[in-house]
Amino acid sequence: MSALYMVVGLVVALGVLVTFHEFGHFWVARRCGVKVLRFSVGFGTSLLRWHDRHGTEFVVAAIPLGGYVKMLDEREGEVPADQLHRAFNRKPVFQRIAIVAAGPVANFLLAILFFWVLAMLGGQQVRPVIGSVLADSPAAQGGLAAGQEVVAVDGEAVDGWGAVNLRLVRRLGETGELAIAVREQGSTAQVLHKVPIKAWLKSVDNPDPIGGLGIQPWRPALPPVIAELDPEGPAKAAGLAVGDRLLRVDGQPVDDWQQVVDKVRARPGKSVLFVLQRDGQERELTLTLAAKGEGKARTGYLGAGVAGGEWPADMLREVRYGPVAAVGEALSRTWSMSVLTLDSLKKMVLGQLSVKNLSGPITIAKVAGASAQSGVGDFLHFLAYLSISLGVLNLLPIPVLDGGHLLFYLVEWVRGRPLSERVQAWGMQIGISLVVGVMLLALINDLSRL
């Protein structure tokens, strides 16, 4: 079923985002009097094909990894004299800029729409209360302690762990101090803590910002009673069964599932002795943990889980916006994610973040499937983030991308004449090399995660 969700999620996500992006180009081109020859969603063999009354050919192709709008243009073929006024290359430069920019702008507008809907739907947020702080961690050095509730990060208010994580992601790879404001239990006063960071999680793949500070979020205690097993995991292979209660791990008593998780993660590939209770009797079981990840990110894997616990009502808060307030929230979230995407790209170029964090179609498919399986809200979140990424990436000043064309047209606007065809051809070759190189790197990262 998960594979089906991956395929359907990816096709729907790319179908929606690519169609909207290309529709932006199409709509503005029509308004500027440019003749659109073809509007294609996908590449390769045509699955569906039809024409409208203006003679535009609409195509749905077999490979849903992009799309394009083909316009009448003298650079791509001979144009009849009576149609020259409808050719893209004959339009004033500001109209060509508008047509090219319309695609990325459409992606940002779509993200705003999704965030607006999500803000009105609202939902429950877990209060960002600290459960524990690791000794000698950045959080401990900054004076953070269990029981404190995080209320702001770097001066920006937060209402849940998701918002805390988003604020922290912005500081990955940096050196300096994190300004974290907290509120003690039973108090309304805020206390500001300065948390030191140095090249923070710079070379870590798939970094965990909250855990990287040494913070463990508070959550209800979960008894270590096995409720589910991975059929291919070491726990199942060694004989652990649903209903077993873990009592000790390598001789150390455990009464909460998180204690088990912490011990397992710290022992990748190692042999571990479990003492468990089954049918009222204690038993010993030795198994070798699997390992996931590489390098510093390598962790142990047991392949077992427990049933979820109930959250106390006072640890949850309802966050919902009215139609007008939701507009501001949607604009703010779109802007924040756009800046974060650009900042992350800059840090990868400067070496402050690992390029292994780049994701390709396989990872996108996995996230699409997981979010679709989780529900409409999660899938809309995914679509909004992906739409922003598509918009930002297309605006990068790299020939072949929309941003590269915008760069050429802006130079033409300033100079009063276009760059020579030879310079533009060189730019295109460089752009193609960069794009193909990045795509190959992202695909290699995807395969390494598998």
The CA distance from 409 to 415, in Å, is: 10
Cα distances (angstroms) measured from residue 186 to each of 183, 224, 306, 380: 8, 31, 32, 36
Burial class (CB in 10 A: 0-12, 13-18, 19+), 140: middle
C-alpha dist (Å) from residue 110 to 8, 52, 335: 20, 25, 13
Q: Which residues contact 114 (CB under 8 A, 6 or more apart)?
A: 330, 380, 381, 383, 384, 387
At position 196, the amino acid (one-letter code) is P
The C-alpha angle 193, 197, 199, rounded to 5 degrees, equals 165
DSSP string covering 57-89: EEEEEEEEEEEEEEE--GGGS---GGGGGG-GG
CB-side neighbour CA atoms (13 Å) of 265: 10
Largest CA distance in the chain: 92
Positive or negative torsion for Cα 16, 102, 342, 393: positive
Which of 252, 253, 227, 258 is closest to 240 using CA atoms? 227
Question: How do 190-197 and 176-183 pair as beta strands?
Answer: antiparallel
C-alpha closest to that of 280 among 237, 244, 326: 244
Angle at 407 between CA 77 and CA 78, to 5 degrees: 5
Q: Distances from the Cα of 131 to the Cαs of 215, 240, 253, 314, in angstroms?
A: 7, 29, 20, 15
Question: Could you tell me if 89 and 74 are in contact, meaning their C-beta atoms sit under 8 angstroms apart?
Answer: yes
Rg (CA), the chain: 26
In Å, how far from its chain's centre is CA 49? Answer: 33
**For the purposes of burial, counting CB atoms within 10 Å of the CB of 412, is it exposed (0-12), middle (13-18) or buried (19 or more)?**
middle
Q: Catalytic annotation on 22?
A: yes
The residues carrying an active-site annotation are 22
